[in-house]
Chain A
Amino acid sequence: MNAPLNAAPPVVTFPAEQRCLNVEAFSLAYGHKPALKALTLEVPRHRVTAFIGPSGCGKSSLLRAFNRLHDLNENAVHQGRIQLEGDDIHAPNLNVSELRRRVGMVFQSPNPFPMSIYENVAFGLRLERRLPKRQRDDIIEWALSAAALWDEVKDQLHRSAWQLSGGQQQRLVIARTLAVKPEVLLLDEPASALDPISTLKIEELIRNLKNELTLILVTHNMQQAARVSDYTAFLHSGELVEYGPTDQVFTNPQRPRTENYITGRVI
């Protein structure tokens, strides 16, 4: 039996000290087209949380709301509240650039800048403050190592980033984001444009990174969500249908719609 959509969805909650992001009745619309409808959920610190759902369900919109990328769209209007470590990210006195440095984002297709590998990773650092070259080099080495790319590119840091393979480019983008030491890393289908080997490398990277930061992953790939995430949220038509520990969502979904989606049946 389908439970009515307006019934309170089965949602996992966390004690206040474990919450990294806190979404309260957040709605987002592009013009008159609603993308998110009064969503409420909590994202735990230093865990991997996956957002799954059919195309157009709002999972990418929610992800982009976390570092206010929807500001770029002049038609976007929002309601409700998102807090990052207790700070309202829409507060008028908040520095958006600062927020975006705290919440890094990796996009679906690799988007390295048309400059050298070194300059790509240094881009965010140069925006922030002037660092002595020595210190900058150290951060760049650290970021490339953290993104498991250092060994492959350490001899060619001044080569154009556009000459790297797709998988290397995506890891470079992750390194570029890590270099500004974010607290949260948003990944918008980071492996959907990559081959299986590169996908595995990215997934391994995600598992290693969760010791240091909070990761949120949007994916179309059920197996990927099951492999890497600790918690999974299932969204549909801009609403949260179900949110819980990944094992539970995949083995024992509470809602028939979740079950239909993850088993590949038409919803």
Chain B
Amino acid sequence: MSRTSHRRRWPGDALWAWLCAGCVALSLFMLATLLTLLTVKGLGHFWPATLEELTLRSGEQMIGQPLREAPMPTGSATERLYFTGNRELTGADWRWVGVDEIVSAATPADVIRLERSPWGDFIGRLIALELDGERLTGDSAFDRISQLLALPPSERSGELVLLSPSGRGLVQPLSGVNTFVAPNALSIGEKTAIWGQGVWRFLSEGPRAANTGGGVWPAIFGTLLMVILMSVIVTPFGVLAAVYLNEIAHQNRLTRLVRIGVRNLAGVPSIVYGVFGLGVFVYGVGGSLDQWFFDDALPSPTFGTGGLLWASLTLALLTLPVVIVATEEGLARIPDAQREGAVALGATRLEMLTRIVLPMATPAMLTGVILAVARAAGEVAPLMLVGVAKLAPQMPLDAEFPYLHLERKFMHLGYHLFDSAFHGDDVEAAIPLVYATALLLVLIVLVLNLTAIFLRHYLRRQRGES
């Protein structure tokens, strides 16, 4: 009796399996949603959207890009948000329009959109291009404008004569124009090309309009440079510490305690590392360096303020446990037979370590370093204390001696994301850039992790492991 009941499957078995599968499915669904949201919202921003010309019940004409609809605060009607540009004429880039106020809507092909600095986007019509006293209109003006826009802004001459939707004319010098498109007249192919250009400009240009426009290149560059410096610092430290803990130290209570300590360091909130970096590196070490070597520049600090070097050091400290733990796990996986084999052939401990043990642990070390890099690339909180800048006037690497300026502040993708989302004066404009930056950050971390996986596979295959 008791035997059969023991053998019988627990009645909740199927339910249990479904519960587990459901959890997996939910996680996958949320991951897919996240990636889809970032991709659609981030990359969709660069697509030249169709512009609608509206006639309102009041008789007013307006042109804009429809963004989203929301119910009116009162009543059952809905209103729609349009991006209208022309900030200097209307006072705002955005306008909510009640859907029932719209008398007619059309998408005329001659509507143009241009991005200018200053004043942001203009949406309206082109009347003429005035160039050296000449007045071009129609297709010849469009051709000439695209030729002129290929030049650097300072070499462009000529002015655009524009007509706003409300019927006001204005003159815009070509030197202040960044892009010029007539989205309603474009074919899918042309739109794709413009989208590609937009993505490329986002990746390769500097930010504009208080981080609510333009690109993120300085932030990408700052992130990469900081992460490279950090890896250069953390790798030798972490590997040597792991080798000591695993290969050299006597395995006793103290080593176990140190190991637990190292593992727990990985769980310390990152802002705490930021405080440590600020107190020790920036004010302590940096302040002393300033007094010894840069006292002629005091009281303005050189190294005594946040900068690239201190940020790299702080993040190296933050990621040290990751490298140590990964390397130690790699070392522990190497069979003792390999160590004994080397020693039995007359190798000293150093020779055994450098010729057999460390090469065998290389994939694990690489994994550790790349995990550290992925963590550092996404870390924001400590950087705010030790050297990241909203807008760095100079790149930390340039043609000026000594080329690498360790004391300079730098831009960082994670901080850029935070800054453009919450500190811009035009939140609506920043939203698509926030999504695009977030997508970029996810992609960078993804690429780094994939690199780790492929490197490990490659090294293992080279050694003949399957």
Binding site for B on A (CB under 8 A): 67, 69, 72, 74, 97-98, 100-101, 104-105, 107, 109, 111-115, 123-124, 127-128, 159-163, 173, 176-177, 180
Contacts and interface: CB of A to CB of B under 8 A. Distances in A.
Contacts of B356: 113
Contact of A114 (B339, B343, B360): B360
B71 interface: no
A161 B464 contact: yes
B252 to A, nearest CB: 10
A262 B335 CA distance: 33
Contact of B355 (A111, A123, A163): A123
Contacts of B335: 111
28 contacts: A72-B339, A72-B343, A97-B346, A100-B343, A100-B344, A101-B346, A104-B345, A105-B344, A107-B337, A109-B337, A111-B335, A111-B338, A111-B340, A113-B338, A113-B356, A114-B359, A114-B465, A115-B463, A123-B355, A160-B464, A162-B463, A162-B464, A162-B465, A173-B341, A176-B345, A177-B344, A180-B345, A180-B346
Interface string B326-355: 000000000101111111111110010001
Given A113-B342, A123-B342, 12 more contacts: A69-B343, A74-B250, A98-B346, A100-B345, A101-B346, A107-B340, A113-B341, A124-B346, A127-B347, A128-B346, A162-B465, A163-B464
Contacts of B338: 111, 113-114
Identify which of B356, B462, B464 gathers the most chain A CB atoms within 10 Å of its CB: B464
A111 B341 contact: yes
A61 B134 CA distance: 100
Contacts, number: 70
Interface in B408-466: 462-465
Nearest to B334: A114
B339 A100 contact: no
Interface in B300-330: none
A160 B464 CA distance: 5
Interface of B: 250, 335, 337-348, 351, 355-356, 359-360, 462-465
Given A101-B345, A104-B345, A127-B351, A72 B465 contact: no
Identify which of A105, A114, A127, A160 gathers the most chain B CB atoms within 10 Å of its CB: A114
A196 B78 CA distance: 85
Nearest to A112: B341
Given A114-B360, A127-B346, A176-B345, A72 B340 contact: yes
Contacts of B341: 107, 111-113, 173
B340 to A, nearest CB: 6
Contacts of A67: 344
B360 A127 contact: no
B133 to A, nearest CB: 76
A109 B336 CA distance: 11
Contacts of A162: 463-465
A104 B464 CA distance: 26
Contacts of A72: 339-340, 343
A107 B355 CA distance: 19
Nearest to B359: A114
Contacts of A114: 338, 359-360, 463-465
Identify which of B340, B342, B344 gathers the most chain A CB atoms within 10 Å of its CB: B344
Nearest to B355: A123
Contacts of B359: 114
Contacts of B465: 114, 162
Identify which of A104, A109, A127, A160 gathers the most chain B CB atoms within 10 Å of its CB: A127
Nearest to B349: A72
A97 B463 CA distance: 27
A159 B462 CA distance: 10
